Structure 1
């Protein structure tokens, strides 16, 4: 599935903002599944709950507070550094290097950022494994956000203020439509990344957020291919 980019919508963009998990690497790599298991284990150990009960609670916290971390901080006052260290202790070799994606990100004009609800260390290790870390100007992580996760408006405002990113000349790439609502309101061009071969009847639990379709300008299951079309259109125009 690829909703091909409209060259006119991207011709003036020179600020490129990318989510990390399930956006810069494909959903089928299952890297985030490792983090998910670690979060359940953390909740289980913290509250002395059986694994199945801990998982239910973890998902409740995620839905109510935006991230499991935010929920655990609000309800149980946990040390965020301890949580982030433990849940990101994973095997990054699950992610395959993606030189094609690296080439396209490098070719984009202007600045490029990773904007993630994870921490900087996790973003750096993931991007390094992909072979794309050196193509980014900076990483805005959950710590830089004051531990307030997307989709909170204050987090986007903090990112925009810190890096002087303005809406009309910026594009944001995300795998969760609800995280594109604020960027869309700020005037950014928004791109939703979905799993490969994504279908409307996709039965796996996937947060496609159909009620927020108006916040999404483009949809693709091939980020490198999508960027290739943008770069190709710019080359022709030049």
Structure 2
């Protein structure tokens, strides 16, 4: 378990995923790749009828290359997880907790070749078992890790039950930017520490008429009203 504070002020606990759940996600992705490969083969037959057999084969080889090497990279960067990882409730992040970058994703996936050696991901498995974040070689080099998608909130970061109920209309007209900021505050509230919530709510003291925990509750209630209106 790794507790970090994001740039937004949210405090989360990242739980690294172990090799078993990652292996099951890898199998699911493998099945997806096989299915897509079959579809590409069917498309190749159609292309062969239109542009010739040799050109159709060449197009299929290019598409298979892109599928093999960039399937995981595309989904990790654009969605945070491959379909297999998403099915298992996982995502790939930088060790800082930030979203994975294109270079990092490309590097960690290219190095799967090294993790596979000498066979069946044995090197990657040993690396996972010897690191506290369950990182294979590709993760260590790319500074990434696979975690459970839903982070655990740090102790004390939740507002007690019942505090979320009700909605409060803002006492004065607000600009579009102000409304968006309040809604964003309300949506991100569960992930912030108590001190961070109060610090941000203090900037809206003129709107809420108070500060501290009461200011947090009122600003959150206004966010609820704006979302529902």
> Shared topology, TM-score over 0.5?
no
The alignment's TM-score, normalised by the length of structure 1, stands at 0.25
The alignment's TM-score, normalised by the length of structure 2, stands at 0.25
More helix, by proportion = 2
Larger radius of gyration: 2
Higher relative contact order (CA 8 A, sep 6+): 1
